[in-house]
Structure 1
Amino acid sequence: MTHPYDLSEQTQAKQILSFNLGSEAYGISIDSVREVLEYTSITRIPKTPEFMRGVINIRGSVVPVIDLRLEFGMPSVEPTIATSIIITEVRCEERISLIGVLVDSVQQVLDLPVESLAEAPPMGNRIRTDFIAHVARVDDSFLIVLDMDSVLSKEQLQDVARNAEPVETDRIAEPA
Structure 2
Amino acid sequence: MEELKVGLENETTQFIVVRLGEEQYGINIKYVDNIVRMQHITRVPKVQEYLRGVINLRGEVIPVMSIRVKMDLELDEYSKATRIIILKLEQQGNIGIIVDEVKEVVTLDNSQIEKVAYDSKEERENFIFAIGKYGDGGLISLLDLNMVVLDKENV
Q: TM-score, normalised by structure 2?
A: 0.85
2:101 partner amino acid:
S
- Cα distance in 2 between the residues matched to 1:10 and 1:152: 30
How many residues align? The count is 147
Please give the per-residue CA displacement for 1:117-151, whole angstroms capped at 9, x wherever unaligned.
Answer: 1101x343432333323211233332011121111
What are the Cα deviations for residues 43-92 of structure 1, in whole angstroms up to 9, with x where unaligned? 01111111000000111111000001101101113310000000001233
Report which of the two has the higher share of helix: 2
Q: Where do 4+ consecutive residues of structure 1 move more than 6 Å?
A: none
Preserved contact between residue 130 and residue 141 of structure 2 (Cα < 8 Å): yes
Rate the CA distance shift 1:85–1:137 in 2: closer, same or farther, 3 A: same
Equivalent residue letter for 1:126: K
- Matched with 1:39 is 38
Amino acid at match of 1:87: I
Say which structure, 1 or 2, has more relative contact order (CA 8 Å, 6+ apart). Answer: 1
Q: Is the 8 A contact 1:16 1:27 kept in 2?
A: yes
Q: One-letter code of the match for 1:148?
A: L
Name the structure 2 match of 1:98. 94
Question: Can you give the 5+ residue segments of structure 1 that lack an aligned partner in the other structure?
Answer: 1-8, 160-176
Identity %: 31
Which TM-score applies when normalising by structure 1? 0.75
Q: Name the counterpart of 1:73.
A: 72
